[in-house]
Amino acid sequence: MNKENVYLVRGKNGEYALGTKICRSSNGAKNSMNNFVDGMIDYKVRTNYSGFNNPMNGLGYLWRWGAAKPALKEWKTLEQYLLTCQLNIAKITEQDYDEFIELVTEIEDYWHVEEVTQDGNDTN
């Protein structure tokens, strides 16, 4: 039988990330993982921090927006970004920022791309 390497997204406990693709390239799998991680962050924020005036929800909006992701690297950068863009999103504090980054880091660190070998006839 023909063997080939494919890439998929797995969690630390070995579980497959539901809804991600089995890819023939590591770049495709990384893209799939990034989309999955963004969805998990969105889900966690929406379910655990509901309410329009919740600062975590505001940070979630910035994360989903994508253009603000570089500003989320550190608190001072985000603070300046919010002032420059005249965004007043639910009075985000440094403590809110730290809590959000902890949530993001926990999710990002849990998932990874894994290379596996399988029969060549198993992929579409």
Domain range summary for the chain, segments of one domain joined by + = 3-122
pLDDT of residue 109: 95
Chain position carrying tokens 């991680």: 37
Task: Record the tokens describing residue 3, joined without a space.
Answer: 């063997």
Task: Record the tokens describing residue 68, joined without a space.
Answer: 């603000």
Q: How much of the chain, in percent, has pLDDT values that exceed 90?
A: 41
- How large is the average pLDDT for residues 6-16? 93
Backbone dihedral angles phi then psi of residue 90, each to the nearest 5 degrees: 50, 35
Identify which of 15-24, 64-73, 102-111, 113-122 has the greatest average pLDDT: 102-111
pLDDT of residue 106: 95
Could you give the CA distance from residue 58 to residue 36 in angstroms, rounded to a whole number? 20
* Sign of the CA dihedral running 90, 104, 17, 120: positive
* Residue 3 confidence class, pLDDT cut points 50, 70, 90: confident
* Residue 29 confidence class, pLDDT cut points 50, 70, 90: very high
Which residues, 6+ apart, have CB-to-CB distance to 67 below 8 Å? Answer: none
pLDDT of residue 1: 62
User: Per-residue pLDDT for 64 more than 90?
Assistant: no
pLDDT of residue 7: 93
What does each C-alpha distance from 37 to 16, 80, 81, 100 come to in angstroms?
Answer: 13, 26, 23, 14
- Three-state secondary structure call for residue 12: coil
pLDDT of residue 122: 52
